[in-house]
Amino acid sequence: MVRFLVHEKEDTVGVATVDIKAGEVAKGLYMDTQDPVEMKALKDIPLGHKIALRDADAGGTVIKYGNDIGKVVAEIKAGDHVHIHNLKTKRW
């Protein structure tokens, strides 16, 4: 069962389609290519929240829907929950 979706191959995060529990190896799907992907969740990922597909250092960028959606403000590891605690808008 698909647990998260990734819109484009260059995206650095996927979006949980169900709650994902820490430690779970979740199956995902790239929507543009229909390729499968798996990621071990390091933390709980609530429905609709983002799961990191790769590591990102503070100051880096998160890509979703093929677009830059914000600046990394705390180190992110592949499998981490990506939300307001480690990602901020670049608008201000």
| Biggest alpha carbon–alpha carbon distance for the chain | 39
What per-residue confidence (pLDDT) applies to 91?
Answer: 82
Nearest CA-CA partner of 31 in 70, 67, 55, 64? 64
What CA–CA distance (Å, rounded) separates 68 from 20? 24
pLDDT in tens, the chain (92 residues): 999 999 999 999 999 999 999 999 999 999 999 999 999 999 999 999 999 999 999 999 999 999 999 999 999 999 999 999 999 998 87
46: Cα separation from own chain's centroid:
12
The rounded distance, in Å, linking the Cα atoms of 73 and 61 is: 9
Q: Which domain covers residue 16, as residue numbers?
A: 2-88
For the chain, the domain total comes to 1
Residue 29 maps to which CATH number? 2.30.130.110
